[in-house]
Structure 1
């Protein structure tokens, strides 16, 4: 017998500032416990080392995650020039240590410039991409050499943030430890979904002939959702703890963005009349033509449109324009 839906279950978007040292799945598991619901998913994995914006969908909003995952993203990254690692970040073993004694602004810019715009990027081998049914990162851990095909990505911004910093790095070798000169560079990255910032660092290091890896990565934006809207996981756990200690038995008041607000923040709107609202509830898309249809097409392009009920507030679902008609994508029942 199917389990009845819980009418009190939360539904919306929760923007978490993920801490370092946790997987995205770890965060989902914590929020399931805090929100007392199983229906929680995330829109785009962050590596354990990375911090920042992790979008979680709860309840009906899990159906939005496909579109949030495909949104552009922005990062602050720190790249270390002079050494490469097996994982292309600071968590992996050193695989080469050529060192980097100095770096001019002109040299750095010459390495960044070819990576802007529409490029073909070879993803990081330590990624969740599947190869013959297995995750690439799992194959790498098993000692399998993984070669992934290049794929198109768009780099809207790739720029240095601040002056490069000369420092040293201790390399532990079989017989002794030695220090090598390295250069740390802070970068600002704005990119399409599917871009690997680790791979950008790898390619910059290869261009300069010294190798590179990431030492820090912080996601500051996913689509319309920015870091200033994100809540540290520790704060969410404190809200739940305080709520429980007060003797309350209902769900803790987590700062979940309601489904209506989340959808309207993401997509242009189409407000229905009373009759269209009734029909859309059964999946029938509204009819638009002429100048009204063209105005919608200009706003949305190929992106979805938020379909709003006649009350002007309630989000009914999503639609898009196909040829010369509005077509239903999904209905939030």
Structure 2
């Protein structure tokens, strides 16, 4: 970290020397086609990440949220929109209201990333608690094995 707090590339007085005389015919003397300067002029637009304002982080933000049970994904996204006071929010895919899990919420300018996240795969993990001792553990192991991997299901006729 710089003690002064400036996180910029400092200008150089020397240019890079490249010998292109041995290069292929179309690239021969390529270095003479470009006028190179030995200094760097920082653009007055933008800022380094450490000097960026909180509003910029919110404007281009993606929130990885652990959605609680009961509210719908749409409700949670509306809460985030109201709390952050932003115009646009979008989520990566609907989770059922009774389901908890990872909900990716994109804010303002980052909402253009939502489509790429919606087409990404999803993984469901569950915890099973049995109320009684098992008579045949092999039958349970076979049943669990059928639920592992890619599963293709027909959606229910009526859903949440």
Q: Pick the TM interval, shorter chain.
A: 0.5 to 0.7
| C-alpha RMSD over aligned residues | 2.9
Q: Number of residue pairs matched?
A: 105
Q: Which of 99, 109, 116 lines up with 2:141 in the alignment?
A: 109
Query: Are positions 1:13 and 2:13 aligned together?
Result: no
- Superposition pairs of residues 200-279 of structure 1, within 5 angstroms: none
What is residue 122 of structure 1 aligned with on the other side? 154
Q: Give the aligned partner of residue 220 of structure 1.
A: none
Deviations 1:28-54 (A, max 9, x none): 110011110120011111112111211
Matches of 2:104 and 2:88, distance apart in 1:
14
- Residue 45 of structure 1 aligns to a residue whose secondary structure is coil
Greater RCO, CA 8 A, separation 6+: 1
Give 2:75's aligned residue: 26
* Structure 2 residue 78 is the aligned partner of structure 1 residue 46: no
SS of the aligned residue for 1:56 comes to strand
Larger strand percent: 1
d(CA) in 2 for partners of 1:103, 1:18: 37
Give the TM-score taking structure 2 as reference length.
Answer: 0.54
Q: Residues 63 and 52 from structure 1, CA distance in 2 versus in 1: closer, same or farther, beyond 3 angstroms?
A: same
Q: Which has the larger radius of gyration?
A: 2
Match of 2:52 in 1: none
CA contact (8 A) 2:59 2:110 kept: no
Aligned counterparts, 1:10-159, within 5 A:
10-79=59-128, 102=134, 104-127=136-159, 137=160
Gaps of 5+ in 1: 1-6, 83-99, 128-136, 138-333
Deviation at 1:22, TM superposition (A): 0.7
Q: Cα gap change, 1:113/1:34 in structure 2, threshold over 3 Å: closer, same or farther? A: same
For structure 2, the residue ranges without an aligned partner over 5 or more in a row are: 1-54
Q: Is the 8 A contact 2:68 2:101 kept in 1?
A: yes
| TM-score for the superposition, normalised by structure 1 | 0.28
